[in-house]
Amino acid sequence: MEKKITVLPGDGIGPEVVAAAIRVLQAIGKRYNHDFQLGYAAIGGAAIDQFNNPLPEETIEMCKQSDAILLGAVGGPKWDNNSPELRPEKGLLRIRKTFDLFANLRPVKAFPSLLNASPLKREVAENVDLMIVRELTGGIYFGEKQRTETDASDLNIYTRSEIERIVDNAFEMARLRRGKLCSVDKANVLETSRLWRAVVDEKKELNPDIEVEHNLVDSVAMKLITNPGHYDVVVTDNMFGDILSDEASVITGSLGVLPSASIRGDNFGLYEPVHGSAPEIAGLGIANPAATILSVAMMLQYSFGMKEEAAEIERAVNAVFEDGHFTADLAKNNETALSTDEWTDKVIAEIDTSFVSD
Ligand code: NAD
Ligand code: IPM
Ligand code: MN
């Protein structure tokens, strides 16, 4: 198969983890005889430095010509005091909005070999397998913003149709998984949450095979850590989903292993790790590339329908962990930690070896 992918390395560790993930993608291309055509473009701080624009028109054009997008991360202290329009994060928000990527899938799966790295007790973290379905193009992120000397405001606004489409997506996801859906809101305080809850209740009538519960976000923040095994699909708004997904990474042992897919219901999608640009470790070659490598697996599955290839990446990543190979964020001590490239080499060797033995 021939596929066009726009690659947006971004800032900080973004270029390092993206380079690693691309090497894995190429190994998969070689093994399964796919032609992945890559085009590189600028986003975030790197694009501000080069074009004075966090999402240049050239980048949007290249993305429009491609089947999927792979993104590293954006942001860093260099641009933290820029005006709102010239912040790296603005480029990320704009690309999500431009391509209407309203559904952000953030799977959280405990790797058995990482349980020692999790601060949670083994019996709490083991067997966790949940999916956060985060609304990505609405809510407080995109409402009107105002700022004067004396006050500031961010409008949190959701239309019924914005809620309906993400809730529909979550019901479908629950049906493909274990049939359980937890909708997370703050309906005891927020009007947007009350509309959200009403929509979920209407959809529940249409999906009687799915077990539905409503839960308040503060309580979920607690239960996600005390009893994560309870959850299957968690659907929530843009802001709550952002916060809960970083929290959920604690279960797995590191933010460096959580991938994500931002999709809109057709085959197009943007794939990126859940983590950010980690400026304090940028340039050291020690970042964990697993989240970005697993995001490539999500791209193969969701955008290209390459289920076997996606499963092969997941198998290889798991095998490398099982063999006791870790980057610094997961290693017990620094002497045994592998660099980004060394760890990626192990994943590629796994893929190549299983090819030879087939
Ligand atoms: P972060 O996710 O970059 O880092 C949080 C912590 O996790 C840090 O200790 C970091 O070193 C560690 N970490 C993250 N990814 C790692 C990896 N792959 N391997 C090893 N350790 C890893 O969050 P932050 O520090 O709050 O934000 C830094 C910058 O990133 C900010 O400018 C923020 O806006 C941006 N950000 C971007 C995205 C994105 O592009 N999708 C997401 C989150 C944050
Ligand atoms: C994420 C990030 C972004 C978000 C920021 C960088 C705009 O934290 O993808 O989780 O809040 O959506
Ligand atoms: Mn986030």
pLDDT in tens, 56-86: 999 999 999 999 999 999 999 999 999 999 9
| 141 included as an active-site residue | yes
Candidate from 81, 255, 272, 292 with most ligand 1 atoms within 8 A of CB, to mutate? 255
Residues 6+ apart with CB under 8 A from 345: none
Residue 9: phi and psi, rounded to 5, are: -65, -40
Cα–Cα distance measured from residue 82 to residue 341, given in angstroms and rounded to the nearest whole number:
33
- CA distances to 17, 164, 179, 207, 208 from 168, rounded to whole Å, are 33, 6, 13, 10, 13
pLDDT over 60 (residue 31): yes
Cα–Cα distance measured from residue 274 to residue 324, given in angstroms and rounded to the nearest whole number:
23
CATH number for region 119-252: 3.40.718.10
CB crowding 289-312: b at 16 or more within 10 Å, else e = bbbbbbbbbbbbbbbbebeebbeb
User: For atom 6 of ligand 2, which residue has the closest CA?
Assistant: 89
Residue range(s) occupied by CATH 3.40.718.10 in the chain: 1-107+254-358, 119-252
User: How does the average pLDDT of the chain come out, rounded?
Assistant: 97
Residue with tokens 């020690």: 286
Q: What is the mean pLDDT of residues 225-254?
A: 98
Q: What is the mean pLDDT of residues 250-272?
A: 97
Where do runs of H (alpha helix) occur along the chain?
A: 14-32, 44-51, 57-64, 88-98, 122-125, 160-176, 191-206, 217-226, 238-252, 290-302, 307-322, 340-356
Residue 120: Cβ within 10 Å count: 18
CA of 282 to the centre of ligand 3 (A): 18
Q: What is the mean pLDDT of residues 95-118?
A: 97
- The number of the ligand 1 atom at minimal distance from the alpha carbon of 92 is 40
Write down the catalytic residue from 90, 186, 203, 204: 186
DSSP letter assigned to residue 262: E
Work out the end-to-end distance of the chain between its first and last CA atoms, rounded to an integer number of angstroms: 21
Residue 246 known to bind ligand: yes
Helix (H, G, I), strand (E, B) or coil at 263: strand
| 242 included as an active-site residue | yes
CATH number for region 1-107+254-358: 3.40.718.10
Q: What is the mean pLDDT of residues 294-302?
A: 98
Residues 6+ apart with CB under 8 A from 212: 181, 182, 183, 200, 204
Residue 208: phi and psi, rounded to 5, are: -65, -15
pLDDT over 60 (residue 199): yes
ipTM, two decimals: 0.98
- CA distances to 42, 47, 164, 202 from 51, rounded to whole Å, are 9, 5, 37, 47
Neighbours of ion ligand 3 (CB under 5 A): 242
CA of 243 to the centre of ligand 3 (A): 6
pLDDT over 70 (residue 358): no
Q: What is the mean pLDDT of residues 89-111?
A: 98
Cα–Cα distance measured from residue 47 to residue 118, given in angstroms and rounded to the nearest whole number:
36
Cα–Cα distance measured from residue 49 to residue 45, given in angstroms and rounded to the nearest whole number:
6
Cα–Cα distance measured from residue 31 to residue 311, given in angstroms and rounded to the nearest whole number:
13
pLDDT over 80 (residue 356): no
β-pairing verdict for 152-154 and 145-147: antiparallel
pLDDT in tens, 112-143: 999 999 999 999 999 999 999 999 999 999 99
Residues 6+ apart with CB under 8 A from 190: 156
Phi-psi region of 44 (alpha: psi -120 to 50; beta: other; left: phi over 0): left
Report which of 204, 24, 235, 10 is spatially closest to residue 132, judged by C-alpha positions: 235
Helix (H, G, I), strand (E, B) or coil at 1: coil
